[in-house]
């Protein structure tokens, strides 16, 4: 039986912390579906198609990864992809309470769906898409936080 895991997020943009979680998940599961949420309420910098493209490029070195955009209810999307596991990254204790609420809600909506939390290695524990965007907006060097394609996209976005 093939085990599919979903790794959902806004990925605005995908960071090396995200890439690290996907790399680790790729050895645990047969298929990892990196699910880029449309998230219009968050007013992302990049549109959905751009975020999907950036993630595909950042993860092209992995064979069992599928990157796809989605909107709507995550539990329903997981069922459509026959996913049994939702992957979530936990950077700090502050993330845990919110992630626990999400895990319990998703389990209530889709009882067959389990949440698995992965913690990043220390060098990625403080990286977030929000902080990376802010550093890029202010002209800082983000090359240690994102892949080259993402660094270039951020540079172009903030030059305009």
Active site residues: 18, 42, 91, 129
Q: How far apart are CA 89 and CA 137, in angstroms?
A: 25
Diameter of the chain by CA atoms? 49
Angle at 101 between CA 25 and CA 91, to 5 degrees: 45
CB burial readout 40-62, b (16+ within 10 A) else e: eeeebbbebebbbbbbbbbbeeb
């Amino acid at each position: 039986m093939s085990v599919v895991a979903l790794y959902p997020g806004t990925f605005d943009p995908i960071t090396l912390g995200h890439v690290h979680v996907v790399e680790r998940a790729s050895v645990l599961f047969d298929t990892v579906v990196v699910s880029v949420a449309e998230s219009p309420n968050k007013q992302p910098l990049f549109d959905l198609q751009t975020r999907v493209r950036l993630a595909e490029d950042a993860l092209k070195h992995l064979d069992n990864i599928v990157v796809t955009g989605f909107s709507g209810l995550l539990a329903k999307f997981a069922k459509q992809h026959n996913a049994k596991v939702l992957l979530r990254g936990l950077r700090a204790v502050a993330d845990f309470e919110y992630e626990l609420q999400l895990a319990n809600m998703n389990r209530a909506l889709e009882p067959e769906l389990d949440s698995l939390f992965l913690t990043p290695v220390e060098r990625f524990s403080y990286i977030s898409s929000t902080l990376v965007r802010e550093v890029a907006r202010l002209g800082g060097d983000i090359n240690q936080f994102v892949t080259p394609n993402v660094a270039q996209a951020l540079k172009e976005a903030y030059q305009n």
